A and B are shown apart, each in its own frame.
Chain A
Amino acid sequence: MTYAMPLPIPTLTTERLILRAPREADFPAMLAFNESPRTAFVGGKRDRQLVWRGLLANIGLWALRGHGLFSVDTHKGDFIGRVGVLFHDGWDEPELGWHLFDGFEGHGYCVEAARAARADYHARLTLAPLISYIDPANPKSEAVARRLGAAPERETVFFDKTINVWRHPAPEAPQ
């Protein structure tokens, strides 16, 4: 079972980034993202109440299943996006997901954060390889998945849309 109550949520440090627990101060940046066209591939614009509920539901996911989205900061302290393993009720499998806020693309941050989140998930919970749900109209996310070593596996209907399931490589066996 996976209700391993990882509270407090772990903090992961990479070369350029810090993956940390979500906090209330993340809300304005999440609202700004919600207002931007960049939200098109993660479910579209929502009411303010649902954005707040989304912040809380992600923390609930951590409490209930032992994983969730990390909030990602640069070492300088800029909050640049959210990356981690999602598995909401009704989904096929745990999913490695990511989104960066406006202005932080093009630096390889997504790949760097997703690698760290994926390794943490496998180290703490299970070695079963992850999936990513990616809309075929989102080539930037496909490029991130490819750089993470994932490959398209099948189509599925996800929130009334036909999209692709990408499969990540199995983690290397523990030494």
Chain B
Amino acid sequence: MIARPQHIAHPSAPVLTTGRLRLRMPRYEDFAHRLAFYASDRAVWEGGPYTAREAWRLFASEVGQWPLMGFGPFSVDDIGSGQYLGEVGIYQPEGYPEPELGWFVVDGAEGRGIAAEAARAVMEWAAQVFGWDHIDNYIDPGNQRSIALGLRLGGVMVDAPGDDPTDVVIRHDLRALA
């Protein structure tokens, strides 16, 4: 099992940069993108579609993980233009057995490897800051694109608990990143 850190090293998201991306603490303006995503058919894999009120509660509560848990969502911007592209982060709502790696990208930013590039940066950060030896994705079995991404990142399907009993759990080995 991996566990939440005893000491909160980062009460808000640090800035992580990759070749094409800047990952940073979410801000209020980012909510509009979540709202659009949660209202769309793509949200069906995340337990949606959600109303505006539910979407806000999810967004605010996940941002609120940072001061309490020391990890949470990173908003992902294009490093050149500053354009918002999506979110990659570590999530642990009530009932999750462990902190989970998750992602979404906005319409139009798909198919460019954005989520993969951002997820690699977050995994490397988590390995170094928390010393975790693995992190899992919990993915709805119908969400083939996310499953494919998890496997492309080097993850393997494991028989471990997720959020929902039917979830596909993909485990990433972080030991080489620490």
Contacts and interface: CB of A to CB of B under 8 A. Distances in A.
Interface of A: 1-3, 5, 7-9, 21-24, 48-50, 52-65, 88-90
Given A3-B28, A49-B94, A90-B53, A8 B63 contact: no
Contacts of B65: 56, 59-60
Interface stretch (B15-23, B54-62, B124-132): B54-62
Contacts of A61: 60, 64
A168 to B, nearest CB: 23
Given A8-B11, A90-B52, A63 B93 contact: no
Tell me the interface secondary structure of chain B in the complex.
helix
A63 B68 contact: no
A56 B52 contact: no
A53 B31 contact: no
B95 interface: yes
21 contacts: A1-B28, A5-B12, A5-B25, A7-B12, A48-B94, A49-B93, A50-B57, A53-B93, A56-B68, A57-B57, A59-B66, A59-B68, A60-B63, A61-B64, A63-B12, A64-B60, A65-B28, A88-B57, A89-B31, A90-B53, A90-B56
Contacts of A54: 57, 61
B102 interface: no
Nearest to B35: A89
Given A53-B57, A89-B52, A3 B27 contact: yes
Interface string B44-81: 00000000110111111111111110000000000000
Given A3-B28, A7-B11, A21-B67, A88 B94 contact: no
B53 A63 contact: no
B150 interface: no
A58 B63 CA distance: 10
